[in-house]
Structure 1
């Protein structure tokens, strides 16, 4: 978890801002889109159920009209009571056939039943052969009734599965029962007609009586998938609905409910009881609502994809716009390496970020001023130190030089005395000259010769000094007293400790716009520790034998201070072999 938090903290502000903006907006608009999609789904569901309810209501109206038609036929038959009398059998059969032919889409079989058990039918021949055992039961029911009765569904030998409409025919005077008229309807045709309105791959229907008996029948002419939604018992033919399912369907309240079907959850729309005493129930597969809304889902997916891309790009661009000045400020601050050239931020805004940029620019200007002042103070301090060192002519050097001159005078070496005094005066004049800190290499070498002459007078043949000067290097400008401390160091620390005569060689050259000076001695040399201490001698007290207080480290620092860190001294030395100093300076020639 800590690694995840650390990784998250390492993100840039623009990334975090765009992520939070994108996520927040995505959640907000995603919730709105989901609610809209859900509302659209519910609206579609409501519309489908409303359409189903309308169809059911119209179907009930049709069934009520169907009942009215049956009642009219029964009333017409009741007005022909003479057809039940003996001797009118053929006329009765003819009348029944006419009614059946005129209403063949509605009725299957018509009967007139007399009290003596005589039955007349529009299919008299078939009845005489097959019969119909249900008529006795129906006749017994008609004895105690005066209006139209509707039986529960039953299996008739002549009509198949059917429902009987029964009307008792009585005398007008004493209401004695003269017989009954029975119409067995064609449930297959009724089911087929209703199936055209209700059956599809995703919805079907059933009609149940108030005693939970199924009215509609199985029609083999319809495709089998019309019957896949409901649990049919296929162990009998024609297949019948599972009794448990019929009982559950009968117990459903009027309206819209849910019920488990053969292939999953079903939405049941149950109508109220019609005039026939039947309940019409439409079943719609629950996933049908989602299947029909899939195009809406696809549209939402495409729109969501485009919208997410637009949201991502806009969030990123907005975050970049907001955080761009901050990132520029960070980039400018990261690039602050050289305080000589300070980057500034262009301010074009007046908001908090604009004020922050102005504060940054003001802060950097103040820092630059302070650093410039500090650097100038350091330079002045070093210049004062150098001038002080230049002005500090070591008393031992003067004492020893004057002692040598006195010795030469006692020996009556007038020329040597004159030459030594001239060298001392020239060296002091060269050292005390305040007109410029820079001299030509030729002037520096002249001062170096005078110093070498004085040391030769003092040490005799202890060393020899050889110059190999390239003529083109003589006009080059160098810092005054650059070479004298190096020669002094070679004499006192390289050659003086050894007992044999030594040699000091100085050579100059121009290479790629740079002045290169080599100073080499064959003295005692130095090991690595001694060589390392050479560059720390600035922190030590100057030797009393020096001409001035300037040491090797002072020379190196002066060169780097004036010309840059790529210039300065490089020293190589081996014990018993000697020391080589390489001085590298810019080849600068004064135009004056």
Structure 2
């Protein structure tokens, strides 16, 4: 017990018989549980770092890009090219958000503002291909959320969901709270995700640069298995992605 008190958790009492034997057995079991817990924590923290690095791959980090785009934006403004100015303004906001390195969490307001800028850029690329509707509860805007949870889902809806549909795409983004939890819902009327992809996390991950499975793992590692990403989809009927998080004020 003296060895344990100074941090040596690899010891084993190993005594048998009587009360001392029962105490010995209990202590040995306790130490085994502690060693197992420490090992699991190390593995989870290592997995978190790997997933965070994957998320970082989506970021455009050099600040000189942000400054350069701002310079081009002001040139466009001086020349009266309002469309170019507006596009560059959205792009510079996206770069500014993705270049933030402090911490893994942002406010819901920051995450949704980032998505609005990102969608505005997508709308320039896919002109009049889709409409977007926002339903964001103002009461949750200052709550905290993990960064980059929505972008892969929006990317999937636009790049894959609307790719081959004849009608105009409709993207709905809803943010609110339900049963004491923070809820994000992204709904589209696209071609849907095939059942074989929904059942295969490796195939799902190939759908975008970060990966839907990355979102699920990041949520699970940070908050536990009772939270996460839930997908439902029907062929040619669209996809609904629901993210459930704890409320963090």
Shared fold per TM-score greater than 0.5: yes
Secondary structure at the counterpart of residue 417 of structure 1: helix
Aligned to 2:152: 485
Aligned to 1:453: 120
| Alpha-carbon spacing, 1:527–1:418, altered in 2? closer, same or farther (3 Å) | same
2:27 & 2:99 partners in 1: Cα distance? 46
Give, in angstroms, the shift of residue 481 of structure 1. 0.7
1:351 & 1:558 partners in 2: Cα distance? 45
| Alpha-carbon spacing, 1:522–1:392, altered in 2? closer, same or farther (3 Å) | closer
Match runs of 1:125-164 below 5 Å: none
CA deviation digits over 1:1-27, x for unaligned, max 9? xxxxxxxxxxxxxxxxxxxxxxxxxxx
Larger radius of gyration: 1
| Alpha-carbon spacing, 1:390–1:499, altered in 2? closer, same or farther (3 Å) | farther
Give, in angstroms, the shift of residue 508 of structure 1. 2.1
Secondary structure at the counterpart of residue 210 of structure 2: coil
1:557 & 1:413 partners in 2: Cα distance? 46
Aligned to 1:550: 210
Secondary structure at the counterpart of residue 526 of structure 1: coil
Match of 1:428 among 86, 90, 95: 95
2:222 & 2:229 partners in 1: Cα distance? 14
Match of 1:576 among 233, 236, 247: 236
Question: Residue 448 of structure 1 contacts residue 484 of structure 1 at CA under 8 Å; is this kept in 2?
Answer: yes
Is 1:352 matched up with 2:12?
no
Question: Residue 476 of structure 1 contacts residue 587 of structure 1 at CA under 8 Å; is this kept in 2?
Answer: yes
CA deviation digits over 1:323-374, x for unaligned, max 9? xxxxxxxxxxxxxxxxxxxxxxxxxxx9623235314413431442243233
Question: Residue 16 of structure 2 contacts residue 24 of structure 2 at CA under 8 Å; is this kept in 1?
Answer: no
1:448 & 1:575 partners in 2: Cα distance? 26
Secondary structure at the counterpart of residue 190 of structure 2: coil
Secondary structure at the counterpart of residue 493 of structure 1: helix
Aligned to 2:11: none
Aligned to 2:183: 516
Question: Residue 508 of structure 1 contacts residue 517 of structure 1 at CA under 8 Å; is this kept in 2?
Answer: yes
| Alpha-carbon spacing, 1:515–1:389, altered in 2? closer, same or farther (3 Å) | closer
Match of 1:416 among 83, 88, 98: 83
Number of corresponding residues: 221
Secondary structure at the counterpart of residue 193 of structure 2: coil
1:480 & 1:389 partners in 2: Cα distance? 9
Question: Residue 105 of structure 2 contacts residue 146 of structure 2 at CA under 8 Å; is this kept in 1?
Answer: yes
Question: Residue 470 of structure 1 contacts residue 508 of structure 1 at CA under 8 Å; is this kept in 2?
Answer: yes
Question: Please, which runs of 5 or more residues in structure 1 have no aligned partner?
Answer: 1-349
Secondary structure at the counterpart of residue 28 of structure 2: helix
Aligned to 1:566: 226
Question: Residue 386 of structure 1 contacts residue 550 of structure 1 at CA under 8 Å; is this kept in 2?
Answer: no
Give, in angstroms, the shift of residue 416 of structure 1. 2.0
Give, in angstroms, the shift of residue 383 of structure 1. 2.1
2:58 & 2:176 partners in 1: Cα distance? 32
Aligned to 2:42: 376
Secondary structure at the counterpart of residue 199 of structure 2: helix
1:450 & 1:365 partners in 2: Cα distance? 52
1:564 & 1:536 partners in 2: Cα distance? 21
Secondary structure at the counterpart of residue 192 of structure 2: coil
2:203 & 2:41 partners in 1: Cα distance? 23
Q: Aligned-pair RMSD on alpha carbons?
A: 2.7
2:176 & 2:97 partners in 1: Cα distance? 24
Structure showing greater relative contact order (alpha-carbon pairs closer than 8 Å, 6 or more residues apart): 2
Question: Please, which runs of 5 or more residues in structure 2 have no aligned partner?
Answer: 1-14
1:470 & 1:485 partners in 2: Cα distance? 22
CA deviation digits over 1:520-541, x for unaligned, max 9? 10111134223223x3346x5x
Secondary structure at the counterpart of residue 173 of structure 2: strand
Give, in angstroms, the shift of residue 472 of structure 1. 1.1
Question: Residue 504 of structure 1 contacts residue 520 of structure 1 at CA under 8 Å; is this kept in 2?
Answer: yes
2:183 & 2:54 partners in 1: Cα distance? 28
CA deviation digits over 1:37-68, x for unaligned, max 9? xxxxxxxxxxxxxxxxxxxxxxxxxxxxxxxx
Give, in angstroms, the shift of residue 393 of structure 1. 4.5
Give, in angstroms, the shift of residue 479 of structure 1. 0.6
Aligned to 1:586: 246
TM-score in terms of structure 1 length: 0.35
1:517 & 1:351 partners in 2: Cα distance? 56
